[in-house]
Amino acid sequence: MAVAHKSAISVGLIYVPVSLYKTTRNTAISFNQLCKDENGKYQRIKYQKLCPSCNSEVKSSDIIKGYEYEKGKYVTISNDELERIKSKSDKTIHVLHFAKMTDIDQLYYDKNYYIVPDRGGEKAFELLRQALLSQKKVAIAKTVMGTKEELIVLYPTKTDIIAKILFFQEEIQPAPTINKVSIDKNELEMAKTLINSMTDKFAPDHDEYQAKLHDAIQTKINGQEVVVADDSQPNSVIDLMSALQQSIDLANTQASNNMAS
């Protein structure tokens, strides 16, 4: 697994060199964009980076970063200059303070990284993990990744510390307005019953659509037609209480079948 980012956790006078690794990988099927040529053969579409002045292709090594401060006027900045402006605090995962795990709204979480201590930092890392976990607290920290400062939560688990990247307040959009409606007490109790009847231990599921997509691709490779999926839905509109009751009955039936099997 490739290292996504090299840094160090800084807590007071404690300094723990660490490496960050992505916690997820993309398993989605990717498609190429094609064009049918005059001979009826498919060719992949190519994207080229062209200079508008000389109309020639530009290599990645020749491309530099530029900021447009006025229309048509740019100031360029090199990767070396970007590194120069980073302080030691910028380059480290600098812990600002600690907080309760429940203090952070799930809306702020963006992406996750595994934090792995480098050689020599294992004991301080494990001490931090156990101390956080025992108090059910997280560390709130900041660091610079690339050209952006990131707000980070160091979240302890039974085996690891996860770096959870947070959105800043200004990045969160206000929620759309929802019309408030009154809920009948019986409807609420029925909804609670439905939730209880469908409550189970969490287990990450599989991507069923990707499996269907694999099958469809293999069907096309075999020279066959892709059949329409069976997606029959009831056409009649039923009232909420009836829908809740039918959902509860269905959940109970499925639970019974699972126990029997």
> pTM here?
0.73
Rounded to an integer, the average pLDDT of 63-91 is: 86
Q: What confidence score (pLDDT) does residue 234 get?
A: 55
Largest CA distance in the chain: 73
Rg of the Cα atoms in the chain: 27
Cα–Cα distance measured from residue 133 to residue 183, given in angstroms and rounded to the nearest whole number:
39
Band (pLDDT 50/70/90 cuts) for residue 118 is: very high
Lowest mean pLDDT among 53-67, 103-117, 173-187, 194-208: 194-208
**pLDDT mean across residues, the chain:** 87
Residue type, 209: Y
pLDDT(117) > 90: yes
pLDDT(52) > 70: yes
Lowest mean pLDDT among 10-24, 78-92, 142-156, 233-247: 233-247
Which SS3 state, helix, strand or coil, does residue 156 take? strand
Cα–Cα distance measured from residue 144 to residue 12, given in angstroms and rounded to the nearest whole number:
18
Partners of residue 100 on adjacent β-strands: 137
Q: What confidence score (pLDDT) does residue 138 get?
A: 96
Q: What confidence score (pLDDT) does residue 230 get?
A: 66
The residue with greater pLDDT, 153 or 28, is 153
